């Protein structure tokens, strides 16, 4: 499929979905729509992803496009009216539109009419199935090994770590698969449930259903975590995933240098060793699981672009480049590992192998 | 308002909503519909509530009725088709219908048509407002003292303890109010949000909004808790309330003798001292709060009916009756208090004063 990504004024730092699709998706990205960086190219910002031009609007995309994908995930998931002309233009030329917003584009009168007139689809991937139920508390019974990525905050690397883990496991011959719980992974996988959009009574049940479905076909499941346990707004989602997935092992993701909850600067992130223990304590009564490894996102420490994946596309770890930034990042990884008393790495900068080793040890 | 309560095959043990309305509601209950106990009376089962006849169907209710209230809260909140004839009959005689199910009665084609034909309303109290958002993490800033009832399981006495606390506080001249988070309290109060029915991303935000709204008018808020932190299905709702309400103090409710999660017999309830510590540990990073008192529901130990409130309607505590059951209940209360290292009582059997003292100490 040939797609365009709408990321106005957010690329790449606040366009998590677009960067995830560029890096892990199978679709061909023919253009990125960002009125701020128009004229530049994807490789200027995300060097390890396939390149594409950045343009200001859908009118500047001359190639055929199968779908326009909204690649922004704003807090609250609201639609931004400044996106309307591009979505209108896409539908008018027969493009499908894919979005993961809380507000559903298919419920917009104009968009629904245009889609109908031009024979195209609007896919709101955050729309939950209508037959969800409460959890049975049975996900712990599956035969597959279930790993959950948890975090010390939102945007700490849970999705990236999950994908790097699955890719590396497959390279070692392990039949691994992701359990997608958020919009980006759902777009990449073509299935999944956006747990944060589910009625809260059914959130754990939604995760349980996905784990039980996926476990029948794979040996290792990596459940993509959401939010954080000490997050003032999203902790309920996190807890529902932790108990609904009933994981065997946890991987804790942390953004190096972050000291307060992103967007909630009055809420400090707890001391990391306590935070890891808190995840284990909350998991224990339903399904005991230890944090067996840590993933540190060291992008904020410099030395690489936000989107850069220094580890090669084949999963090999690059030679040390001896820069000061690399040394700082290495120190941050070692400090995190020592603090949580578990192997740690930056899966993007240094490769995911230490995490995979810990995840597989004694399993599979 | 004159109401009938539909509780088929569940009265009183599994008709929490009906018992709550009988005990704490302002409406006059003219009949209870239960095909199992038809012919008996409310006072045979809930001696301390206003009496009413129990009948088999709406056809047996000859008095005028303003509303039929669905007084059952089944797991999953589904509609039971065996209730259809009574709801149909109510609408046909011009009665409003009030329900707190996950599935909305107003969305049922037949019920919607009958309501329209007969000029009556269907009120689905679990339907959330459509303008909810993510939490700002600001509920901790309100001037009112905020108390949250938490539990070691569902159906452990959180709503009852909340109402007893508010009533006793008012008797002491404290301007106290409840923050209703579940269907029964919403029906009693005439406002509120059923947090378990809210999109999980917005659950904490819904609680925060209620606390901030209510805090402007009262000195003491008692937030009605939901679920339990170690519950395999509902822990996300519990965590959202804990962080969204940002309480100053917690009251932990426990059903004496219960050792496994109700309906999840393979999940043991954690050791109680650890459970209390877990609530405090999870609360701490967002808004520190201690468990200052315990509420024990000793009904299962015998000596009183499920619905009985031994403490008088004026809140006075009855004389000890010297029975073996009372001694057993007293011992259970003392054991719970010693285990969690805080004052404890059975608010129904022995009065809520020890909890209120602990809640108010140093505040107000």
pLDDT tens digits for range B261-308: 999 999 999 999 999 999 999 999 999 999 999 999 998 887 654 444
- The pLDDT-based confidence of B317 (bands split at 50, 70, 90) is low
Mean pLDDT of B163-173: 97
Q: Are B112 and B186 in contact (CB under 8 A)?
A: no
Preceding peptide of A12 cis, ω within 30° = yes
Mean pLDDT of A87-101: 97
Q: Is the pLDDT of residue B157 over 70?
A: yes
- The answer to whether B2-124 and B139-360 have equal CATH topology is yes
Q: Is the pLDDT of residue A310 over 80?
A: no
Mean pLDDT of B73-85: 87
Smallest CA–CA distance from A233 into chain B, residue? B135
Distance from CA of B204 to the nearest CA of A (A): 6
Q: Percent of chain B beyond pLDDT 70?
A: 94
The confidence score (pLDDT) of residue A303 equals 66
Tokens of residue B67, six digits: 């509303």
Count other C-beta atoms under 10 Å from residue B132's C-beta: 18
Q: Is the pLDDT of residue B116 over 50?
A: yes
Smallest CA–CA distance from A268 into chain B, residue? B285
Mutation site for B-interface testing, chosen from A232, A247, A272, A276 by largest number of B Cβ within 10 Å: A232
Mean pLDDT of B20-45: 96
Cα angle A339-A342-A343, degrees, rounded to a multiple of 5: 115
Q: Is the pLDDT of residue A93 over 80?
A: yes
Q: Are B186 and B194 in contact (CB under 8 A)?
A: yes
The confidence score (pLDDT) of residue A304 equals 56
Homologous superfamily of domain range A139-360: P-loop containing nucleotide triphosphate hydrolases (3.40.50.300)
pLDDT tens digits for range A173-232: 999 999 999 999 999 999 999 999 999 999 999 999 999 999 999 999 999 999 999 999
* B116/A332 Cα distance (integer angstroms): 66
Q: Is the pLDDT of residue A307 over 90?
A: no
Q: Is A236 close to B196, i.e. CB distance below 8 A?
A: no
Smallest CA–CA distance from A207 into chain B, residue? B233
Residues of B in contact with A75 (CB under 8 A): 134
Smallest CA–CA distance from A139 into chain B, residue? B232
The confidence score (pLDDT) of residue A78 equals 86
* A147/A128 Cα distance (integer angstroms): 23
Of B75, B195, B236, the CB nearest to A240: B236
Whole-model pTM over 0.90: yes
Smallest CA–CA distance from B133 into chain A, residue? A76
Smallest CA–CA distance from B204 into chain A, residue? A233
Q: Is B267 close to A281, i.e. CB distance below 8 A?
A: no
The confidence score (pLDDT) of residue B303 equals 66
* A50/A31 Cα distance (integer angstroms): 11
The confidence score (pLDDT) of residue A318 equals 54
Distance from CA of A277 to the nearest CA of B (A): 10
Report domain extents, chain B. Answer: 2-124, 139-360
Cα angle B208-B210-B212, degrees, rounded to a multiple of 5: 65
* DSSP state for residue A221 in the 8-state scheme: E
Alpha helices of A216-283 — where are they, by DSSP H? 235-245, 272-283
The ipTM estimated for the assembled molecules is 0.91
Q: Is B203 close to A266, i.e. CB distance below 8 A?
A: no
Q: Is A204 close to B285, i.e. CB distance below 8 A?
A: no
Distance from CA of A300 to the nearest CA of B (A): 24
Please determine, looking at this structure, whether the domain spanning B2-124 carries the CATH number 3.40.50.300.
no
Residues of B in contact with A104 (CB under 8 A): none
Residues of A in contact with B73 (CB under 8 A): none
Q: Which of A187, A226, A189, A191 is nearest to A209 (CA)?
A: A191
Tokens of residue B201, six digits: 């991303």
Q: Is A199 close to B102, i.e. CB distance below 8 A?
A: yes
Q: Is A285 close to B137, i.e. CB distance below 8 A?
A: no
Which residues are bridge partners to A6 per DSSP? A33, A70
Q: Is B235 close to A204, i.e. CB distance below 8 A?
A: yes
Tokens of residue A230, six digits: 């000490």
- The pLDDT-based confidence of A314 (bands split at 50, 70, 90) is very low
Q: Is B200 close to A200, i.e. CB distance below 8 A?
A: yes
Mean pLDDT of A259-281: 97
Distance from CA of A278 to the nearest CA of B (A): 7
* A295/A153 Cα distance (integer angstroms): 12
Of A134, A205, A232, the CB nearest to B135: A232
Place of tokens 């917690």: B250
Distance from CA of B75 to the nearest CA of A (A): 8
């Amino acid at each position: 499929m040939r797609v365009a990504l709408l990321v106005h004024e957010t690329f790449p730092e606040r366009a998590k979905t677009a960067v995830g699709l560029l890096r892990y998706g199978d679709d061909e990205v023919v253009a990125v729509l960002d009125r701020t960086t128009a004229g530049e190219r994807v490789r200027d910002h995300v060097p390890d992803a396939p390149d594409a031009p950045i343009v200001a609007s859908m009118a500047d995309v001359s190639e055929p496009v199968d779908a326009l994908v909204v690649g922004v995930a704003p807090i609250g998931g609201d639609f931004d009216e400044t996106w309307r002309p591009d979505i209108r233009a896409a539908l008018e030329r027969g493009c499908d539109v894919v979005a993961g917003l809380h507000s559903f584009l298919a419920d917009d009168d104009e968009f629904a009419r245009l889609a109908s007139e031009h024979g195209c689809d609007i896919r709101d991937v955050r729309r939950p199935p209508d037959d969800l139920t409460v959890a049975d508390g049975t996900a712990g019974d599956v035969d597959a090994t279930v790993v959950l990525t948890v975090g010390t905050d939102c945007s700490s690397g849970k999705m990236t770590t999950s994908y790097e883990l699955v890719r590396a496991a497959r390279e070692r011959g392990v039949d691994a698969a992701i359990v997608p719980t958020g919009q980006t992974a759902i777009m990449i996988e073509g299935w999944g449930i956006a747990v944060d959009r589910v009625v809260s009574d059914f959130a754990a049940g939604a995760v349980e259903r996905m784990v039980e479905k996926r476990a029948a076909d794979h040996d290792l499941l990596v459940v993509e975590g959401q939010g954080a346990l000490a997050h003032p707004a999203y902790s309920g989602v996190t807890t529902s995933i932790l108990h609904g997935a009933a994981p065997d092992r946890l991987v804790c993701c942390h953004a190096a240098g972050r000291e307060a909850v992103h967007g909630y600067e009055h809420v400090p992130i707890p001391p990391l060793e306590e935070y890891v223990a808190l995840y284990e304590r909350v998991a224990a009564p339903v399904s005991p699981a230890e944090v067996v490894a840590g993933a540190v996102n060291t992008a904020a420490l410099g030395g690489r672009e936000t989107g850069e994946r220094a580890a090669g596309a084949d999963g090999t770890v690059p030679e040390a480049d001896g820069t000061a930034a690399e040394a700082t990042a290495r120190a941050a990884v070692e400090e995190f590992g020592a603090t949580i008393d578990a192997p740690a790495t930056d899966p993007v900068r240094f490769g995911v192998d230490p995490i995979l080793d810990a995840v597989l040890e004694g399993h599979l």
